[in-house]
Amino acid sequence: MRDTKTVTLADGSTQVDTVYQTIPNFSFLNQDSTFINNETFKNKVYVADFFFTSCPSICPIMHRNMKKVYEEYSSNPEVAFLSHTIDFKYDKPSVLKRYASKLGVDDKKWQFAYGSKEEIYTIAEKSYLVSVTIDSTQKGMYVHQGWLVLVDKDRRIRGAYDGTDAKQVEQMAKDIPVLLAEYK
């Protein structure tokens, strides 16, 4: 299932085309307390997810799997990673910095974004299509889906993979060069 639109070609015939889910303008503080935005990911395909540093459930396995892909593409400047924290109370930039360095990814390739509840939760649900909620009955308090969302150089979502499933993440690692090849 995909969103589609009908386009009219130069010769007057019509064709059905895909309407891609596109990421809007964003601006967040990163782990170095500097602002990152869409320009930061210009000319790159990137993998986006939503997590929080004190997450007791799915985040460790998501990031374990994501780190493998990060290492695989470590020498490719066209591939980047963007993790948004959904814990706006605790995961301030300095906390994100500590997390990044302990995870062993303290560089510009993997950005950790901090924003207000409204900004982060809105972009998660409306743009990246990842569900995020606060539930005080849940251990860890914040609840979110484990999607790794693959975004192309035109800010369009091209894939979503379950970050807790090593096989799906392997598939994502295989899909990345296919995506990059579109731009050659």
State the minimum distance, in angstroms, from the CB of residue 123 to other proteins: 25
Q: Which residue, 126 or 167, has its beta carbon nearer to other proteins?
A: 167
State the minimum distance, in angstroms, from the CB of residue 80 to other proteins: 19
Pair 145, 133: CB distance under 8 Å: no
Pair 153, 44: CB distance under 8 Å: yes
Beta partners for 79?
45
State the minimum distance, in angstroms, from the CB of residue 67 to other proteins: 8
Residues binding other proteins (CB under 8 A): 54, 56-58, 60-61, 63-64, 67, 99, 101-104, 139-140, 164
Q: Which residue, 82 or 141, has its beta carbon nearer to other proteins?
A: 141
Beta partners for 160?
149
State the minimum distance, in angstroms, from the CB of residue 180 to other proteins: 27
8-state DSSP, 123:
I
First to last CA, the chain: 28
CA dist., res. 20 & res. 42, Å (int) = 18
Which are the contacts of 102, defined by CB distance < 8 A and separation ≥ 6?
none
Q: Which residue, 103 or 160, has its beta carbon nearer to other proteins?
A: 103
Q: Which residue, 58 or 179, has its beta carbon nearer to other proteins?
A: 58
Q: Which residue, 61 or 180, has its beta carbon nearer to other proteins?
A: 61
**Closest by CA position to 70, among listed 61, 62, 78, 81:** 81
State the minimum distance, in angstroms, from the CB of residue 94 to other proteins: 15
